Every structure is written in structure tokens, then in C-alpha cells.
Amino acid sequence: MKKPLAAVASAVAVALVVSACGAGGSSSGPSATAGSTKMSIMVGGLDKQIYLPFMLAEKLGYYKDAGLDVTLSDEPAGVNAETAMLAGQVDAVGGFYDHNIDLQAKGQSTEAVVSMLQVPGEVELCRADLKGTVTSPADWKGRSLGVTDLGSSTDFLTQYLAQKNGVSATDIHRIGVQAGPTFIAAMDHKSIDCGMTTEPTVSNLINSGKAYIIDDMRTADGARQALGGAYPATSLYMRTDYVNSNKDKVQKLVGAYVKTLKWIQTHSAADITAQMPPDYYTGVGKAAYIAALDSEKGIYNPTGLMPADGPATCLAVLQANSDVAGKSINLAKTYTNEFAQAAQNQ
């Protein structure tokens, strides 16, 4: 169940205060300058490698270079971040592009302004004691499956994988367990049989022998096999009315992210990790964090432009979701390449 709007607004206020005080949460500390344009972004799991560009842009000083004072706040479930954005509590969301399709189906107008991931970077893990019993989503009937939260992108993907493999969404029990320690605890206590998560949680569970992989979407081939095509994931998205009223601010922000994405392409996983707050890899260890990042570095979009076939793949996946099934969706209104294209030669 989604959190009530008032509760989300309260959580946002707390998150913004925490992020302004913590070294890992905001650019409003040393990098901020007098007269900078303020912007607030809520990210669906700041310490996940799939959302790494948001913090990396801060650490590289690219927000400051663009004349922006960006406050990053953390919300483990992207579905709650989008609620905060729609309520005007934050300017933008760092989350999966597919939410824009889901929101349009619900009568909301939002759009992704930069695409950061070419593939989901998600992995479907199952508990080690089920090896040989659960070998694919076709074995999910009656199983408890961990997702970030109900209505999240991992929830969309889980429902799709079930239906693609002949299991109705009504025959599985989806449980919101977020990521990191709470996901691991759900595995440890057998609250879930399988679950979808990202790095560094994946490496933690694999290296400890607690889980095994049945679907790996950290590569283009893996994503294509599981989902049928390119699946652009992490993006920065906003209300369409906000984009239209703040084009200069949006352009500066997208420019900072395109610079960050290009920086990733020319630096090693160790170089990137050196920029991250130490608490991002405390649970798994720095060496394991670097190894995981090195193996999946290809997930990052080098241009920030939306992959041409990506939106259609996302729509096909979301049609397994009852909120989207049967709805007329105008994909052209769910994203724009205007700002990322303009940033290419910066």
C-alpha cells in the first residue's frame, strides 16, 4: 500500500533536513555558492549503484559549476518519491523512466529529461535453500516475492516476469522490502522466496552464499532476454508543467548529468568508487563494491539520450500492470531529448 500523501510530505521534510546535514545527502554544503539556483531531487535509493550519477555529479562539483544548489534526498521506494514530486514537495525524482508511463495512465503529466541507464541493472535472486526448486519465474506460483515497494519499478518488472513465464500476478505474493539491509533481512528470515534488487545488495547476498540468480538484467543481453528489448531505467523526471516553466534550470541540471555520464565512461570503477561516500559500500566492502561496479559499468548511458526502442519496451512491460493495461499511452509525452541533446557539446 502506498503511503498517505501527508506522511510522504512529512518524510520529505525530514529527508531534506537530514540530507542538508549529512555529507552524503546534499550539495548545499561546501559546493553551494551565494546566488545559486536551488533545486530539490528525491532519489529512490541514493546508495544504489543504479542511482550513482546523482551523488557523483555532486562530488565532481558539476552542480556548482552549473550554478545550482541541489539538495538530494533519499527515499528507498521510488513510488513514494513520485508522490512527493506530484505534491510539489520536491522539484524532481531520480527514478525509473517507466513511472512516467504509469503516471500518464493515471492522468498525470510527467516526463524524463535525461536517461542515465540503458538497462535496469536489476537482478532477481532466490534464497539459496531453494536452488533446484525455483529455477525461473515459471516456478513462482504461490511464492513470496520481494520488491522495493508496491507500485515501484521492481513491482512492475516482477509482475511482467511472472506473466511472461505463465504465472498470473494474482498467484504471487509481492512484498515491499526496499533494498540493502531490509532486503537481506527478508531473505534471512525467509519472509521472501525470491526478490528483485541491485548492487551492492546483489554482491552481498551472492558472496555470502545466501542467494543465487535466476534473472540478471545488469547487461544489455540479460535485459533483452528477460524483457524483450532495451529497457531504459534510471532517469531524472519532473512534472511537465515544471519543465515548461523552468527550462533554463532544467537545462543546467541535465548538462551536469550529461557531463557526469561522460566522466563515468572515461574513468575506472575504482576512480568512481573513490568519489562515493564510504557508507555506500560499508555493508559489502570497498573491494566488492568496486568489482560489482566494474562488472556492470556498461549500464550507464553515455549520452543521456533516450534509447530509441526503450519507451516501447517499457510500455510492453507495464501492460502487465493493471493500471496501464488497456490504456492509450502517448510515449512521446513521457520523455524529452531536448535538454540532453543540447548538452552534448558542452
Q: How far apart are CA 74 and CA 89, in angstroms?
A: 13
Q: Is 248 inside a domain boundary?
A: yes
Q: Could you list the pLDDT tens digit for every one of the 346 residues in the chain?
A: 333 333 333 343 333 333 333 333 444 334 445 567 999 999 999 999 999 999 999 999 999 999 999 999 998 766 788 999 999 999 999 999 999 999 999 999 999 999 999 999 999 999 999 999 999 999 999 999 999 999 899 999 999 999 999 999 999 999 999 999 999 999 999 999 999 999 999 999 999 999 999 999 999 899 999 999 889 999 999 999 999 999 999 999 999 999 999 999 999 999 999 999 999 998 889 999 999 999 999 999 999 999 999 999 999 999 988 889 999 999 999 999 999 999 998 7
Range of the domain at 253: 5-119+231-342
In contact, 344 and 261? CB cutoff 8 Å: no
pLDDT digits (tens, 9 = 90+) for 95-137: 999 999 999 999 999 999 999 999 999 999 999 999 999 999 9
249 and 327 inside one domain: yes
CA dist., res. 100 & res. 113, Å (int): 11
Among 5, 334, 320, residue whose Cα is nearest residue 153: 320
The 3-state DSSP class for residue 283 equals coil
> Which residue type occupies 141?
K
- Which of 217, 248, 274 is the C-terminal boundary of a domain? 217
Tell whether 285 and 333 lie within a shared domain.
Answer: yes
**Contact (CB, 8 A) for 117 and 232:** yes
Compute CA distances 199 → 49, 122, 265, whole Å.
Answer: 6, 8, 19
- Interhelix angle for 98-105 vs 153-164, to 10°? 90
**CA–CA separation, 44 and 94 (whole Å):** 6
- Classify residue 223: in a domain, yes or no: no
Q: Do residues 109 and 28 both lie within one domain? A: yes
51 and 152 together in one domain: no
Q: Are 71 and 16 in contact (CB under 8 A)?
A: yes
Last residue of a domain, one of 186, 217, 248: 217
Determine how β-strand 92-96 pairs with β-strand 37-43.
Answer: parallel
